[in-house]
Amino acid sequence: MSGLTLATVSHSFAGRRVLDTVSLVIHSGELVALVGPSGSGKSTLAAIAGGIVKPDQGRIMRNYARHGMVFQQSRLLPWADARANIAFPLTLAGMADDCIAERTEAAAQAVALLPADLSKRPEELSGGMRARVAIARALVVEPDFLIFDEPFAALDPALRRRMQDLVLSLAQARGFGGLFITHDLYEAARLADRIAVLDRQGKGIMGSLAPPGPAGARSEMQIFDFVEQARRAPLLSDLVNVDERALSLDCACDTLGFRRCC
Amino acid sequence: MPSDLGIASTRLRLAEWGEMAPIVAVRIARKTVPPLLGMALFLCAWQAAHLHYGGFILPSPWQTCAAVVRTLSTAEGWAALGATLGRAVLALGMSVLVGGGLGLFAGYFAVIRATFAPVATIVLGMPATAWVILTMIWFGPSHGAIVFTITIVIGPILYIGTVEAVLTRDRRLEEMAASFGASAVARFRRVALRQILATLGPVLGIALALGFKVAIMAELVTNVAGLGAEMARARAHMNIDMALANVALAVAGLLIIEHVVIRPFQTRSSMWKRIGA
A225 to chain B, minimum CA–CA distance in Å? 36
Residue B95 is predicted with a pLDDT of 95
- Which residue of A47, A121, A141 is in closest CB contact with B272? A121
Give the mutation candidate from A44, A48, A88 for the B interface (greatest B CB count, under 10 A): A88
- A249: confidence class by pLDDT, cuts 50, 70, 90: very low
A67 chain-B contacts, CB cut-off 8 A: 179
Q: Which amino acid is at B7?
A: I
Q: Give the tens place of pLDDT for each residue, A26-63.
A: 998 899 999 988 888 899 999 999 999 999 999 999 98
- Check if the beta carbon of residue A7 is closer than 8 Å to that of residue A227: no
B105 to chain A, minimum CA–CA distance in Å? 19
- Least Cα distance to B150 among B199, B205, B104, B210 occurs for B210
In the beta sheet, which residues pair with residue A69?
Answer: A147
**DSSP structure class, residue B262:** I
- Least Cα distance to A211 among A28, A3, A33 occurs for A33
Residue B183 is predicted with a pLDDT of 93
A256 chain-B contacts, CB cut-off 8 A: 171-172
Whether the pLDDT of residue A251 is over 50: the answer is no
- Least Cα distance to A88 among B206, B176, B106 occurs for B176
Give the mutation candidate from A75, A85, A123 for the B interface (greatest B CB count, under 10 A): A75
Whether the pLDDT of residue A202 is over 70: the answer is yes
Residue A239 is predicted with a pLDDT of 74
CB contact (8 A) between residue B190 and residue A92: yes
B268 touches chain A (CB under 8 A): no
- Check if the beta carbon of residue B159 is closer than 8 Å to that of residue B242: no
Average pLDDT, chain A: 86
The Cα–Cα gap between B164 and B103 comes to 8
Residue A243 is predicted with a pLDDT of 56
A68 chain-B contacts, CB cut-off 8 A: 180
- Which residue of B177, B190, B276 is in closest CB contact with A123? B276
A84 chain-B contacts, CB cut-off 8 A: none
Residue A214 is predicted with a pLDDT of 85
- Which residue of A68, A122, A256 is in closest CB contact with B172? A256
Spell out the per-residue pLDDT of chain B, length 277, in tens. 556 777 888 888 888 888 888 889 999 999 889 989 999 999 999 999 999 999 888 999 999 999 999 989 999 889 998 999 899 999 999 999 999 999 999 999 999 999 999 998 899 888 988 998 999 899 888 899 999 999 999 999 999 999 999 999 999 999 999 999 999 999 999 999 999 999 998 898 889 888 988 999 999 988 888 899 999 998 888 888 888 998 888 888 888 888 888 888 888 877 777 665 5
CB contact (8 A) between residue B275 and residue A92: no
- Which residue of B176, B191, B276 is in closest CB contact with A71? B176
Q: Locate the chain B residue with the closest alpha carbon to A257.
A: B171
Residue A250 is predicted with a pLDDT of 45
- Least Cα distance to B165 among B217, B103, B216 occurs for B103
- A16 or A97, which is more confident: A97
A78 chain-B contacts, CB cut-off 8 A: 272-273, 276
CB contact (8 A) between residue B194 and residue A89: no
B194 to chain A, minimum CA–CA distance in Å? 9
Whether the pLDDT of residue A151 is over 70: the answer is yes
Q: Give the tens place of pLDDT for each residue, B104-121.
A: 999 999 999 999 999 988
- Check if the beta carbon of residue A194 is closer than 8 Å to that of residue A30: yes
Residue B274 is predicted with a pLDDT of 67
Residue A104 is predicted with a pLDDT of 95
CB contact (8 A) between residue B172 and residue A75: yes
B65 to chain A, minimum CA–CA distance in Å? 43
A121 chain-B contacts, CB cut-off 8 A: 272, 275-276
B167 touches chain A (CB under 8 A): no
- A231: confidence class by pLDDT, cuts 50, 70, 90: confident
Residue A260 is predicted with a pLDDT of 41
B100 to chain A, minimum CA–CA distance in Å? 22
CB contact (8 A) between residue B173 and residue A52: no
Residue B53 is predicted with a pLDDT of 93
Residue B7 is predicted with a pLDDT of 83
- Which residue of B171, B180, B198 is in closest CB contact with A92? B180
So what's the ipTM on this one? 0.84
DSSP string, chain A: -EEEEEEEEEEEETTEEEEEEEEEEEETT-EEEEE--TTSSHHHHHHHHTTSS--SEEEEEE-SS-EEEE-TT----TTS-HHHHHHHHHHHTT--HHHHHHHHHHHHHHTT--GGGGGS-GGGS-HHHHHHHHHHHHHTT--SEEEEESTTTTS-HHHHHHHHHHHHHHHHHH--EEEEE-S-HHHHHHH-SEEEEE-TTS-SEEEEE--SSSTTS--HHHHHHHHHHHHTSGGGHHHHH--GGGS-GGGS--SSSSS---
- A87: confidence class by pLDDT, cuts 50, 70, 90: very high
